Structure 1
């Protein structure tokens, strides 16, 4: 998905200073009392493919009305998110070593007021998908039909009733600019028959399940056509306690 010049914004990769192979080093700069390392590493590949190849947003147009919106609902363990934002020029790499310190803008949960490029404050389970539904509705009401809304959630968030309501609403509402990525590391307490994708499909969503470490499979799933329906990609990664 490319970005055209007439819209006044550019692809996230335009000002790329670092590549995928640098992300481990960038994450390694963030030390301190962080309890959610597996939560961070589980999202790394999804985040990279989105920001490197899919999302129409960049640091120089982070407030442009026609930008894509990315909402990180899985905000606990945000080191991978910060590393990708730094790699793409949204925030200075020099901020990373101060992660989690008293006066650092990079907290253990992202703060939309403090973190450049962050669309929401997150970390409380179950909030991101309902916020994404509201964002998609708001853009539609404003007549902004080009921007896509993306939200990344964890499979354990599907234990929350707020997400069930958001899933049930978005399908019949035909929110085809809404995209959800579920990073599945087998953390959910209440698995459903047929798996995660079946839950969304029953509510009228388009759904695909892929290897969450395979960049080409992720890209193909992210860019799959889904006219008239919201789209979910279930990205399976290694179990949290593996």
Structure 2
């Protein structure tokens, strides 16, 4: 009995698998080529700038040129002084003698005598009249009487000029103040002050104001011609 040995057969691969492998390999190759192209197109970063080097050269300073020698001073010859011409003295002419001729004396003309002007006659000056004799000094009795009369006149004037303050009227007050004051012979007031208070300041002020604001007559002829001090009583009340 013979056995027949048959060679093994390889089963054929399907065509679809081989085609897919070719496509995949082609795609991979295309991708590698594209990657190489892309990498080749990328620009490499510029290299870092090289540091600049500054070269320093040591230069020797130029030697200073020697200064030219100063010019020699020019010596000018001294001017020769000119001689001063001396004046030539002129010859003094000698006087020529003249013959002396004697003339007859000429008579002097007669001058008419002029009369001196006579001074005008001045009438004799009359003596100045003597000053009037001073007024006779009044006797002390007459002076005291004249002062008393003048004081009474002044007292009446001050009392009439006094004004009662409104506070005195409302409070029904009354009082008498004594005022001392000095008058010149012309009647001018020198000073005035309160000599004795009434105890009420409003009455004192009114009395002092009456003396200071009054005008007084001149002294009479029998009064002494000097400043005189007077005392006057000023009475003020609500009924005044």
TM-score category, normalised to shorter length:
under 0.3
